[in-house]
Amino acid sequence: DIQMTQSPSSLSASVGDRVTITCQASQDIGNYLNWYQQKPGKAPKVLIYDASNLETGVPSRFSGSGSGTHFSFTISSLQPEDIATYYCQQYDNLPLTFGGGTKVEIK
Amino acid sequence: QVQLQESGPGLVKPSETLSLTCTVSGDSISGYYWSWIRQTPGKGLEWTGYIYYSGSTYYNPSLKNRVTMSVDTSKNQFSLKLSSVTAADTAVYYCARGTGYCSPISCYGNFDYWGQGTLVAVSS
């Protein structure tokens, strides 16, 4: 199985801060990576697909980049409604696997 | 608007079979692949496998041949059965729609619609 390692596991930042999360794959996955946002008590919601494409309706402050084994997810200006846990997910190989998540909190 | 709704018992005894159904509304179950994804505090998000409307399936090897998925296109539903459950199978179970397509290598795309999730506890 492809292991997806996210860091940090949690972070605390101020409103307006730039926040970056990284995701490392255990092998080359090209750009076959999605990013999801999960708010407490809710199902995950896709924000970024194919590593860098913004899902329709998602605010432009969210972005993704990377390819191969190293990926990053950025919130350019953190908003209170962005409090959530963020997950990466690879779809280069079966079984599909997720990262361990990054919990984002407001300082 | 596409909606998915999980249903099934919230409590299952150890060694018995967990059974869940996902009812899809707002779109046909045809033309997509469908998955069950479970979430535990310890293991995070775990993908259990997929089923197509045609009935073709793939199961995550981590579940050691305990999982079976089925589809009922007439009811726009698909189901999950997980046998010989233990406390480690206690989780929130989500059903989800996959975009793209599945090949022997992978399932492409992302999960664009999810159910609200249902907590299944394994306990005597």
pLDDT-derived band of residue B5, with 50, 70 and 90 as boundaries?
A: very high
pLDDT of B101: 86
- The pair phi, psi for residue B68, each rounded to 5°, is -140, 130
Q: Which residue of A has its CA nearest to B107?
A: A91
Note if the bond before B104 is cis, omega within 30 degrees: no
Query: How many CB contacts within 8 angstroms connect chain A with chain B?
Result: 62
Q: Which of A45, A95, A101 sits opposite B47 (nearest CB)?
A: A95
**pLDDT tens-digit readout, A38-70:** 999 999 999 999 999 999 999 999 999 999 999
Positive or negative torsion for Cα B108, B110, B115, B117: positive
A17-32 residue pLDDT tens = 999 999 999 999 999 9
Report the alpha-carbon distance of residue A105 to residue A85 in Å, rounded. 9
What mean pLDDT is predicted for residues A63-90? 98
Residue B108: its chain A contacts at CB < 8 A? 32, 91
Token pair listed for A5: 């390692």
A-chain residues near B115 (CB < 8 A): 43
**Bridge partners (DSSP) listed for residue A34:** A89
Q: Closest approach of chain B CAs to the CA of A106, in angstroms?
A: 22
Instruction: Pick the closest to residue B72 from B8, B17, B28 (CA basis).
Output: B28
User: Which of B8, B43, B39 has its CA nearest to residue B114?
Assistant: B39
Partner-chain residue, chosen from A49, A94, A98, that has the shortest CB–CB distance to B105: A94
Distances (CA, A) of A82 to A39, A49, B67, B90, B105: 8, 18, 35, 28, 34
Q: Is the pLDDT of residue B38 over 90?
A: yes
A91 contacts B106? CB cut-off 8 A: yes
Please say if the pLDDT value at position B43 is more than 90: no
Q: What pLDDT is attached to residue B42? A: 79
Helix, strand or coil, per DSSP, at residue A31 = coil
Pairing of the two strands B77-82 and B18-25: antiparallel
Chain A, residues 54-83, CB within 8 A of chain B, namely 55
- If you count DSSP H runs as helices and E runs as strands, how many of each does chain B have, helices first? 0, 11
Q: Is A104 helix (H, G, I), strand (E, B) or coil?
A: strand
> Which residue in A87, A96, A98 is closest to B107 by CB distance?
A96
